[in-house]
A and B are shown apart, each in its own frame.
Chain A
Amino acid sequence: EAQVTQNPRYLITVTGKKLTVTCSQNMNHEYMSWYRQDPGLGLRQIYYSMNVEVTDKGDVPEGYKVSRKEKRNFPLILESPSPNQTSLYFCASSSRVRQPQHFGDGTRLSIL
């Protein structure tokens, strides 16, 4: 089954403790992206990747890092999480940027 898998689905952690949210897709997609969703603000893009080793900033990249060492994986790294990064995060992928995106089920992060 074609899917985008995010882990973990839920995480409660403390300020400053590095964490990684993994994202994997099994559709051989070139384009992958991370979004955060906050009440009243809709979906905002954090980072995107056009292909392996090609990443770029979205609208709200501050405090986040990403890497794209393999085509299927696009982890989101919070080196020193802060409470303002408490949010619902979605990973998405598409064959190319113009094509429909497939979204994961989301990861709810709470930073205390």
Chain B
Amino acid sequence: DAKTTQPNSMESNEEEPVHLPCNHSTISGTDYIHWYRQLPSQGPEYVIHGLTSNVNNRMASLAIAEDRKSSTLILHRATLRDAAVYYCILTSSGGSNYKLTFGKGTLLTVNP
């Protein structure tokens, strides 16, 4: 199964941009890249996803490397509410295995 690798933790200051990296060197051509985050004492929530092109939504931007072996979640202006664990996962559209592996994620700390 394709796996992802993320730093254990990152730190940012409030109102500054944050770039959260994810490596997925064994990604297959049909795997989508999804990002979720989990705020303290809450269930995970969807942030953004993409296949090949960069994606933007109201929460964040997703930059996908040309070879798709890595991606970066961009929070344009971090707020204290963005402090969470961020998970990068791959989802397949083909084959018979639809298992999802979340990994340990990146703990983002936002300083006031």
Contacts and interface: CB of A to CB of B under 8 A. Distances in A.
A and B associate in one complex: yes
Contacts of B80: none
Interface residues of B, number: 24
Contacts of B45: 103
Interface in A55-109: 56-59, 90, 92, 97-98, 100-106
A106 B101 contact: no
Nearest to B100: A45
B99 A48 contact: yes
A50 to B, nearest CB: 6
Which range contains the number of A residues in contact with the other chain?
A: 20 to 34
Contacts of A40: 104
A41 interface: yes
B42 A105 contact: yes
B103 interface: yes
B43 A104 contact: yes
Contacts of A59: 99, 101
Contact of A101 (B46, B99, B103): B46
Nearest to B6: A42
A104 B103 CA distance: 19
B102 A97 contact: no
A33 interface: yes
A90 B93 contact: no
A31, A48, A90, A98 pick with most chain B CB within 10 angstroms: A98
Nearest to A90: B43
B49 interface: yes
Contacts of B97: 56
A62 to B, nearest CB: 15
24 contacts: A40-B104, A41-B104, A42-B85, A42-B102, A42-B103, A42-B105, A43-B38, A43-B87, A43-B102, A44-B101, A45-B99, A45-B100, A56-B99, A58-B99, A58-B100, A97-B91, A97-B92, A98-B49, A100-B34, A101-B46, A103-B43, A104-B43, A106-B42, A106-B43
